[in-house]
Amino acid sequence: MSLSLQSPPSVALSSSSSSSFPVRLKLPAGSTSASSVLFNFHTSFPVIRASSSLDTGVTTELDAVSNFSKIVPDTVIFDDFERFPPTAATVSSSLLLGICSLPDTIFRNSVDMALADSMCSGLDNSPELRLSCFANKALVNVGGDLVKLVPGRVSTEVDARIAYDTHGIIRKVHDLLKLYHDNSIPPERLLFKIPSTWQGIEASRLLEAEGIQTHLTFVYSFAQAAAAAQAGASVIQIFVGRLRDWSRNHSGDPEIDAALKRGEDPGLALVTKAYNYIHKYGHKSKLMAAAVRNKQDLFGLLGVDYIIAPLKVLQSLKESITSPDDKYSFVRRLSPQNALTYSFSDEELTKWDQLSFASAMGPASVELLAAGLDGYAAQAKRVEELFGKIWPPPNV
């Protein structure tokens, strides 16, 4: 099975901006415990437009919404990758697991070469360090391949097991950056994906001060979004649908309860508030809305920098035709002008520190962040366990 990055003639793309989105890699039955492996493609996303609108003047809903936000495809890589090709990528533990389960991918040689690295192999006295070294080399080797395949930036996942260690995160990013430098990959082509713990946000602040671009993930509260913006993170990612899912089965989170009392979706409300904060107070961060479940979600987010849309939503938008006079619901919901009139409380305008941050984290953000970290940590552990079983690789 090979990976094709060739754009189909039916889709026109432009890539004027940068950020991140997930792509699912379908695996053979029984190859992993999950039905698909999630890996993210990041920054300089394609603006997708149906060729029919370009050829005939007919406007699709996809054309209409693309005037307000960059619409990012969440696509199945081997089935639909050519219809919605990404222009940037993320390399992660889940991607490495997918590569190892499909040995005929174009990236398998990069993993095998990492496992044959003499420096890592020489760490005989510490099997844990050896496996960690192999994992770092594999991430960077595959990331280097992706840099050659996509025009945008490639983001590298930072080990979630050090999510509460600021200096550990910084050391890990420096180590990865040095490996990329050794592979002649320029730093401007790279992002580093860091969980939005307080320690992760602090690491982002220090790394951005060095000129190293960061992408903060697992954002589920205004405190996280505002602290990430104050830190200068290049990309901040909020998971709209996950907050809604939590609110359907739980209560007692002040932020979510307040949104529901106003008759608002909690995920959409958080994106709106974070967007207005970023633009009203001049922060550089780009905001991304992820876990978008349907067209109604997407219409409610128009104006945000990036929207990650499932393939079924993109296909529906692409197949829906609008007349030139049909305004439908294509109204910009978020804009820098409207942000100027948005009101924040004194507590929300604080200069966030660890104490105020921890106090503002409600049960939804605490639980969802912990679940995300557990999932990422489990994947990183599985990679090292797998490498321990297959090292040394054959035919290298």
- Find the angle CA(349)-CA(352)-CA(358) to the nearest 5 degrees: 115
d(CA 54, CA 49) in angstroms, rounded, equals 8
Residue 296: C-alpha distances to residues 65, 178, 237, 302, 329 (Å): 12, 44, 19, 10, 9
Sequence-distant (≥ 6) Cβ neighbours of residue 179 within 8 angstroms:
136, 137, 140
C-alpha–C-alpha distance, residues 339 and 301, integer Å: 14
Residues belonging to the active site: 193
Element (H, E) at 288: strand 286-290
**Cβ atoms of 271 and 240 closer than 8 Å:** yes
* Neighbour count for residue 317 (Cβ, 10 Å): 22
Of residues 209, 173, 210, 177, the one with CA closest to residue 193 = 173
**CA dihedral over 108, 188, 94, 291, signed as positive or negative:** negative
